[in-house]
Amino acid sequence: MTTDTPPLALSARNIHKSYGEKEILRGISVDVRKGEHIAIIGPSGSGKSTFIRCLNALEVPDAGTIDLRGERVFDAERRTPVASVRELRKRVGMVFQSFNLFATQTALENVSLAQRRVLGRSKEEAAQRSEELLERVGLREHTHKLPRQLSGGQQQRVAIARSLALDPEVILFDEPTSAIDPEMRVEVLKVMKELAEGGMTMLMVTHEIQFAREAADRVMFIADGEVIGLDTPEAMLVDPAHERVRRFVNALSGVV
């Protein structure tokens, strides 16, 4: 008997995180299938960014496990070795709110550097791959420009190309349009939507409700460090059953 259900790409179980006595995450779990796109929404301070940073150990969870394609790559109780954490970060890419580009390096150099350091590619191999990815995100004509010569939207697209350059299995987006002028957001969301349509497995912290409706397979609502709801965009964003979710969505949509 065969099944068309894609295999699990990432599975996080019982993720906890505290800073001192302040508990930020209170046991969040999620299964993400290969090629699936999950939008993560919720009020500020709810733990969304902390959770997504825990998924590639930029923030180290106090408790919980992370599996990639059925392989245990992080276990808080067993003190996962540094080498395993590095492998996790290589396989799970990250795009941040701020662009984190090297100011003195061109777009091409910013995309090439991690390939050479992490994957061991030659300068020529990395440059060729970087050119391909910069063209993919619509920046072919800006290859040799420095970050200061690019708009915010263009810089974020360089950051997306940099993440893609490591050939990740999953990409995490932490509010990638929050630091960009409204008129520039469209170009970044367009690239993200194209990645989704191309089959990239993605988890996206976002306040862009319309984008979540169009690009996500499921929407996760996090509040007070817990998952309040996880369902289809229709169920979560059009007619939410949970009152907390309904109030949040209505507020973002300007509904009183």
- Indicate the pTM of the whole model: 0.92
Structure tokens at 118: 């992490």
Phi/psi for 39 (5° steps) reads -95, 135
- Residue from 241, 217, 203 nearest 15 by CA: 203
Confidence check: pLDDT of 12 > 70: yes
What is the rounded distance in angstroms from the CA atom of residue 200 to the CA atom of residue 80?
27
Q: Is 134 left (phi over 0), alpha (psi -120 to 50) or beta?
A: alpha
| Percent of the chain with pLDDT strictly greater than 90 | 78
CA atoms in the 13 A half-sphere facing the CB of 110: 28
Residue 184 lies in a domain: yes
Q: How many CA atoms lie within 13 A of 213 on its CB side?
A: 12
Residue type, 60: V
- Give the torsion through C-alpha atoms of 100, 103, 104, 110, to 10 deg: 30
- Within a domain: 161: no
Residue 155 three-state SS: helix
Instruction: Read off the tokens for 6.
Output: 């894609």
| CATH classification of the domain holding 15 | 3.40.50.300
Separation between Cα atoms, residue 11 and residue 251, nearest integer Å = 31
Residues β-bridged to residue 63: 16
**DSSP label at residue 119:** I
Q: What is the pLDDT of residue 1?
A: 39
Q: Is residue 3 part of a domain?
A: no
The lowest-confidence range among 73-87, 155-169, 184-198, 214-228 is 73-87
Give residue-wise pLDDT tens across range 81-120. Answer: 777 888 888 899 999 988 899 999 999 999 999 899 989 9
93 lies in some domain: yes
Backbone angles phi, psi at 12, to 5 degrees: -110, 135
Integer Cα distance of 40 and 46 in angstroms:
11
SS3 159: helix
Q: Is residue 49 part of a domain?
A: yes
Residue 186: both structure tokens together = 């469209």
Q: Alpha-carbon distance 60 to 231, whole Å?
A: 27
Q: What is the pLDDT of residue 235?
A: 95
DSSP tag of 105? S
121 lies in some domain: no
In a domain, 62, yes or no: yes
Model confidence over 32-50: pLDDT tens digits? 999 999 999 999 999 999 9
Residues contacting residue 44 through CB under 8 Å, at least 6 positions apart: none
164 falls within a domain: no
Q: Which residue type is seen at 97? A: Q
Arithmetic mean of pLDDT over the chain: 92
> What does the alpha-carbon distance between residue 156 and residue 190 come to, in Å, rounded to a whole number?
12
Total structural domains in the chain?
Answer: 1
Q: Which domain holds residue 241?
A: 8-100+170-252
**Alpha-helical runs (H) found in 199-241:** 209-215, 233
pLDDT at 180: 87
pLDDT over 70 (residue 166) = yes
